[in-house]
């Protein structure tokens, strides 16, 4: 329920857009041409709508601690802020002294890091874009940053991790973007502190904003030309005012024609100039949303690598989230927490490959497919597509069902994976207000011998 209300707030604040334009103009003196470019034009943003499935990567110094520190493991309820699985939050939650945490950089040496291997894994999984944490709340930059010494060049590894990933993405035709913690920065004076601490003085925050946050974002855009930037805020008590939000957006628009911006740039007030909405973590809407959107999601509880987080979701469960989102017009950004040595955890890789195998056979029903606004029973999802002038519906069955009736007009249905014909009968219902069709599919029980999701490809009349 809470999630729903937040979703609503999000949509409402998008609506108040026009009112904000004036204040933005007076702040930055945009001219007409600038305003026209305040969101990425539809044509350049189309890839995101069609992509459906992306890889999120949380990787940084925290990966070295693997969710544990000095005999304690997250979540640890004996510490006042220890109650969280999020391994990337280990520094404040398990009370690691900042100096000690920063010193981890002296031994960060991911000798197994192979950017091309990561990209190939994403590609085989059926993912169409990658989002890597360029700097998380701890403030550590994974690229060669001229703005801050707290970066990968001051580690024994001394290699620009992001540059290598970008090159690999370009080689394999993978879209790429970066998570950048623009608000929280625990290692830089003036950067926002964990939300349970008092807010830092706004003048100090402004200094951080001008001296680190904005310059690093600019660096990321100018150096690596990302397809999207992923910002992160989540509560009201936040230094990201409308002015700062728009200042950051303007900086990005001035330097890139294509870079998409997510709604969490200012969660409670994203305004009119963002390109897509970001749901709550692991939140899957039940209604169609027209603005482009995605759900960031975990395979376990934690985002960063946590060696003792055994809460793995199954590939089937994750595919259900993917098809739910596809049927509601959104994307699924699924996270991996690579190990500190640069390798990907095996349980994650196995799940990626299982999902990739399913998508190899059923991707037609997912990529570029649009929502179809008809009522479906629990566990059934639907999308649509036009191929060579013919309209098709794709029905995702996530559990056994003998007879399925939907408000469709169809004479022909097959199992997408195998081509097996599925009996369908359409009846015409006549009402005062007009006529309606109802198609009833008879689904063989043995279709569910393997538990994965079955897709029916349905020709529409």
Contacts to ligand JFZ by CB under 6 A: 86, 88-89, 232, 234, 280-281, 296, 303
**CA atoms 215, 221, 226, 228: torsion sign:** positive
Residue placing its CB nearer to ligand JFZ in the complex, 234 or 321: 234
β-strands 68-69, 72-73 pairing: antiparallel
What the block records as the tokens of 422 is 């599925």
Which DSSP letter does residue 212 get? Answer: I
Q: Which residue sits closest to ligand JFZ, CB atoms considered? A: 234
Residue placing its CB nearer to ligand JFZ in the complex, 233 or 410: 233
Residues 6+ apart with CB under 8 A from 280: 3, 6, 295
Residue placing its CB nearer to ligand JFZ in the complex, 266 or 395: 266
Continuous segment of H or E residues that includes residue 19: helix 17-28
Residue placing its CB nearer to ligand JFZ in the complex, 274 or 453: 274
* CB neighbourhood size of 5 (10 A): 9
Q: What angle do CA 165, 112, 299 make, to 5 degrees?
A: 70
Give me the least distance between CB of 7 and ligand JFZ, in Å please: 11
Residue placing its CB nearer to ligand JFZ in the complex, 321 or 448: 321
Residue placing its CB nearer to ligand JFZ in the complex, 113 or 303: 303
- Residue 393 near residue 410 (C-beta atoms within 8 A): yes
Overall size of the chain counted in residues: 461
Residue placing its CB nearer to ligand JFZ in the complex, 66 or 232: 232
Give me the least distance between CB of 23 and ligand JFZ, in Å please: 25
Residues 6+ apart with CB under 8 A from 41: none
Q: Which of 237, 295, 230, 236 is nearest to 264 (CA)?
A: 230
How far is the C-alpha of 207 from the C-alpha of 381, rounded, in Å? 49
Residue placing its CB nearer to ligand JFZ in the complex, 94 or 443: 94
Give me the least distance between CB of 45 and ligand JFZ, in Å please: 22
Give me the least distance between CB of 205 and ligand JFZ, in Å please: 18
Give me the least distance between CB of 296 and ligand JFZ, in Å please: 5
Q: Which of 333, 295, 300, 277 is nearest to 88 (CA)?
A: 300
3-class secondary structure, 339: coil
Give me the least distance between CB of 184 and ligand JFZ, in Å please: 7
Give me the least distance between CB of 219 and ligand JFZ, in Å please: 20
Which DSSP letter does residue 141 get? Answer: B
How far is the C-alpha of 370 from the C-alpha of 385, rounded, in Å? 6
Residue placing its CB nearer to ligand JFZ in the complex, 235 or 290: 235
Give me the least distance between CB of 365 and ligand JFZ, in Å please: 28
Give me the least distance between CB of 88 and ligand JFZ, in Å please: 5
What the block records as the tokens of 411 is 């004479």
Which DSSP letter does residue 70 get? Answer: T
Cα 255 from chain centroid?
23
Residue placing its CB nearer to ligand JFZ in the complex, 332 or 394: 332
Give me the least distance between CB of 376 and ligand JFZ, in Å please: 28
3-class secondary structure, 384: strand
């Amino acid at each position: 329920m809470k999630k729903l209300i937040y979703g609503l707030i999000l949509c409402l604040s998008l609506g108040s857009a026009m009112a904000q334009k004036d204040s933005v103009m007076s702040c930055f003196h945009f001219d007409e041409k600038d305003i026209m470019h305040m969101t990425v034009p539809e044509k350049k943003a189309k890839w995101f709508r069609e992509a459906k499935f992306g890889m999120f990567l949380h990787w940084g110094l925290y990966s070295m601690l693997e969710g544990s520190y000095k005999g304690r493991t997250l979540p640890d309820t004996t510490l006042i802020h220890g109650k969280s699985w999020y391994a990337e939050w280990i520094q404040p939650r398990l009370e690691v002294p900042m100096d000690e945490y920063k010193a981890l950089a002296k031994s960060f040496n991911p000798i197994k890091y192979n950017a091309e291997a990561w990209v190939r894994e994403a590609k085989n999984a059926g993912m169409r874009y990658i989002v890597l944490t360029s700097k998380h709340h701890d403030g550590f930059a994974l690229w060669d940053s001229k703005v801050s010494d707290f970066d990968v060049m001051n580690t024994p590894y001394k290699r620009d991790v992001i540059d290598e990933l970008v090159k690999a993405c370009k080689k394999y035709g993978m879209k790429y973007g970066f998570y950048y913690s623009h608000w929280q920065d625990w290692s830089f004076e003036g950067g926002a502190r964990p939300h349970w601490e008092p807010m830092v003085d706004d003048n100090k925050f402004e200094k951080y904003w001008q001296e680190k946050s904005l310059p690093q974002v600019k660096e990321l855009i100018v150096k690596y030309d990302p397809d999207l930037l992923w910002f992160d805020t989540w509560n009201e008590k936040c230094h990201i005012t409308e002015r700062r939000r728009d200042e950051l957006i303007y900086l990005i628009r001035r330097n890139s024609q294509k870079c998409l911006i997510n709604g969490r740039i200012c969660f409670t007030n994203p305004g009119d100039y963002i390109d897509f909405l970001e749901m709550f973590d692991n939140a899957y809407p039940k209604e169609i949303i027209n603005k482009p959107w995605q759900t960031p999601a975990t395979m376990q509880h934690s985002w960063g690598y946590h060696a003792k987080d055994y809460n793995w979701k199954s590939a089937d469960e994750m595919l259900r989230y993917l098809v739910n989102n596809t049927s509601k017009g959104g994307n699924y950004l699924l996270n991996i927490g690579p190990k500190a040595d640069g390798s990907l955890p095996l349980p994650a890789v196995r799940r990626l490959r299982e999902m990739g195998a399913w998508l190899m056979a059923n991707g037609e029903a997912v990529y570029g497919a649009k929502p179809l606004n008809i009522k479906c029973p629990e566990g059934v999802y639907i999308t649509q597509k036009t191929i060579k002038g013919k309209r098709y519906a794709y029905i995702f069955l996530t559990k056994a069902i003998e007879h399925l009736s939907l408000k469709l007009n169809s004479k022909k249905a097959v199992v997408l994976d195998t081509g097996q014909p599925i009996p369908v009968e359409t009846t015409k219902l006549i009402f005062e207000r007009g006529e309606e069709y109802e198609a009833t599919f008879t689904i063989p029980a043995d279709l569910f011998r393997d538990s994965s999701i079955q897709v029916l490809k349905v020709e529409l009349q």
